[in-house]
Amino acid sequence: MAVLLDGKVLSEKRMEELKARVDTLRARGKTVGLAVILVGENPASQVYVRNKGKACEGLGIRGDTILLPEQTSQEELEALIEKLNQDECVDGILVQLPLPKHLDEAKALALISPDKDVDGFHVENAGRLFTGQPGVTACTPKGILAMLKAWNVPLAGKEAVVIGRSNIVGKPVAMLLLNENCTVTICHSRTADLAAHTRRADILVAAVGKPRFITAGMVKPGAAVVDVGINRVDGKVVGDVDFESVEKVAGYISPVPGGVGKMTICMLMENVIEAAERKAN
C-alpha cells in the first residue's frame, strides 16, 4: 500500500508556521492583506474564494473579497487592479479564474504588480521561474513540490512525467521538477502512447481534469503519484487518478480531496506573507 501524501496534515502544520510569521509581522505593526477579485457567479469559483477567505481568517490575514457583476467591463476590472496595486494595505492581489468569456484574462493578469502577484501567473514571475531567478511561484506547483519534499521523495536523477501543459499547473510544475534535477517529460492530449510515458515515471503528476483517468496499469510500481485533478462526479469530488487501484501499485499517492488542493491554499497564504515580508523589509 502506498504512503499517503496527506495534504491536509502537511498544510495544517505549515499553516501554524505561517501564523507565527503573520504574528511576527503584526508585532512590527504590519498587517498582512490579500485582495481577491471574483467576477460573476461561477459556483466552483465561489467555493474557492470562500476557502481562501477562511484561510486568511485563520491566519489573521486581512482578506478582502471584491465581488464584481458578470457584465463587468475590461476597463472596470483594470481600474480596480490599478487601484489595488497602489493600495498600501494590499500585499497580494488575486484575480479568480476563469474570468467571464468577454474579459481578457492575460491582459488583466499582466496588470497586477509582479510583487503583489501572489498566484505567480504574471509573465514576469513565470519568466523568473523559467530562468531560475527568485520570484513568486504558482501555488499549486509549489504545493506539489512541498509535498514531495516533506515525504523525502527522491527527485534528483529521477524520471518525472507531468500530464498537462497548462500555464498554471503543468508547465510550472515541470519547471520546478527540472530545477530539482528530475528528468522531465510533459505529456498532453496529443501525446502518442501516454501509458508508455507514465509507466517510466518515478514521479507522476496528473493535471488533466479527467476523473480517474490514471489507472494502476499506467503506473510504475513504487512511483510517487500526485493527483492534481478536481472533478465533480455525481456530486462527489474525485481526482484524475483512480485512487483505489493506483494506491496498490504506487509508493506514494496524494488523495483528492485532502491532497494538492489543501497545499495550494497553504502556498497562496505563504506567497501573501512573503510579499508582506518583502515589503516590510
Summarize as ranges the residues that interact with ligand NDP (CB under 6 A). 140, 163-166, 168-170, 187-191, 194, 207-210, 228-231, 260-261, 264
Neighbours of 230 (CB within 10 A): 18
- Judged by CB, which is closer to ligand NDP: 194, or 216? 194
CB of 53 to ligand NDP, least distance (A): 16
Between 63 and 172, whose beta carbon lies closer to ligand NDP? 172
**What is the rounded CA–CA span in Å between residue 251 and residue 249?**
7
- In this complex, which beta carbon is closest to ligand NDP, that of residue 255 or of residue 261? 261
Catalytic residue among 115, 117, 119, 240: 119
Task: Determine whether 119 is an active site residue.
Answer: yes
Q: Which distant-in-sequence residues (6+ apart) come within 8 Å of 80 by Cβ?
A: 37, 66, 68
CB nearer ligand NDP, residue 40 or residue 211: 211
Give the residue nearest to ligand NDP (CB).
166
Closer by beta carbon to ligand NDP, 33 or else 229: 229
**Is 96 an active-site residue?**
yes
Q: Which residue is catalytic, options 91, 96, 115, 202? A: 96
CB of 133 to ligand NDP, least distance (A): 24
User: In angstroms, what is the minimal distance from the CB of 209 to ligand NDP?
Assistant: 3
CB of 243 to ligand NDP, least distance (A): 14
Cβ proximity of 118 and 146 under 8 Å: no
Question: Is 146:169 a contact under the CB 8 Å cutoff?
Answer: no
CB of 191 to ligand NDP, least distance (A): 6
Chain CA centroid to CA 174, Å: 13
Q: Minimum CB separation from ligand NDP for residue 157, in Å?
A: 25
Residues with catalytic function: 52, 96, 119
